A and B are shown apart, each in its own frame.
Chain A
Amino acid sequence: DTGVSQDPRHKITKRGQNVTFRCDPISEHNRLYWYRQTLGQGPEFLTYFQNEAQLEKSRLLSDRFSAERPKGSFSTLEIQRTEQGDSAMYLCASSRGAGDRATNYGYTFGSGTRLTVV
């Protein structure tokens, strides 16, 4: 297993277009997280899954954002009608554990997808 994979690495899109990112976590990890990071800031939580169930979604996330993890393996993050403010690095991470114990394990992050909305 080579870690967490994200695709694409870079995405440039015009304002108003839809984009979709993919994340393949470490196979033994049942937790998958999406974070967003802008320049000079720490990762900001978007949503997470335990297996195929989406357990939490940030209140900062508008309805234009949706994430899925249909079979409890890979996940996709879609942004509809992109805005310039969506430009950021989108990081996916995975970890072991479930419930309260999930935060007892470190996250393994992917290399991220850098989105630029022009």
Chain B
Amino acid sequence: GQQVMQIPQYQHVQEGEDFTTYCNSSTTLSNIQWYKQRPGGHPVFLIQLVKSGEVKKQKRLTFQFGEAKKNSSLHITATQTTDVGTYFCAARLEAAGNKLTFGGGTRVLVKP
């Protein structure tokens, strides 16, 4: 079963508004990565977080790794139509070997 959970599954956002999507695991993660998949496209690597409590920013996107390294969040400010897509978190799980396990994704729709 899926060991990396993302909420919400869907996010409808008015253009210009902010929103946050969350990624949770029951186990401690060594690192976490975020990917974006545009409709009809393939996942594209955005960022990696490694340290407890780490915060990284990419323009309007802010990524945070939880203090216990069991959760992460992605916050987007002033949403634009170009933000449409599915955002996946992915992590290496200790019991799952040496590869990334992806969450189910948050599908973002932007209302103009």
Binding site for B on A (CB under 8 A): 33, 35, 40-45, 48, 55-56, 91, 93, 99-100, 102-112
Contacts and interface: CB of A to CB of B under 8 A. Distances in A.
A37 to B, nearest CB: 9
Interface of B: 2, 6, 30-31, 33, 35, 41-45, 48, 50, 88, 90, 92, 97-105, 107
Given A45-B101, A56-B97, A56-B98, A103 B42 contact: no
Contact of B42 (A40, A56, A104, A111): A111
A106 to B, nearest CB: 3
A-B interface, 4 closest residue pairs, ranked by CB to CB distance from nearest: A106-B45, A42-B102, A103-B92, A109-B42
A42 B102 CA distance: 6
A110 B44 CA distance: 9
Given A106-B48, A107-B45, A109-B43, A42 B103 contact: yes
9 contacts: A33-B99, A41-B104, A48-B99, A91-B42, A103-B30, A103-B92, A104-B50, A106-B45, A107-B45
**A interface: dominant SS:** mixed
Contact of B44 (A100, A104, A109): A109
